[in-house]
Structure 1
Amino acid sequence: MERTMRTRLRAGDPAAFSELFGEHAQTIYRYAARAALYRATALIPGVRLVARSADAMNRQGIAVAFDADGERTEWIFDAGSWPSSAHATT
């Protein structure tokens, strides 16, 4: 009888930990890289948070904005799931 992943993990099976890590590492790295990007962006002088913003398709979200040379660039994120939904320059 094949043991479930949960049973294998609870039993301390090293191969189960390796499989689990292999399956989920890419997701973990992607979120860690995204978090690092947000932290680095926040350190740029002139960058600010826009609580309510919308792109050209009227998708609502939270934006990180930067004004330079008379133009505003916004990275707009879905407030619920945080993936970048748009990039707008006005």
Structure 2
Amino acid sequence: MNKRTYGKVCCVVNCKNTQYNTKNVHFYSFSMKPHKVEQREKCIKAVRRRNADGSLWQPNKYTKVCSEHFIGNAKSEHPLSPSFLPTIFL
């Protein structure tokens, strides 16, 4: 298998950012922690991705969103920050 199959890849539809083809871009995981379920669900909805059957897509523990989808190019952990959820989709 090609080694580029592995690594960080942005899950946002039509985003081509990977750890191999972009510099100065960070990749953020969808939190799997039980106390961050609400943040995780909001982030999933913000990404607006669907499965082929139309059902809501679910990330796994390796799924990432790149910093280009966050205001200021960085994710915030503060719920009132505009960078708390990904909101930029080009």
Same fold by TM-score greater than 0.5: no
- Computing the radius of gyration from Cα coordinates, the structure with the larger value is 1
The structure with higher relative contact order (CA 8 Å, sep 6+) is: 2
TM-score, structure 1 normalization:
0.29
TM-score, structure 2 normalization:
0.29
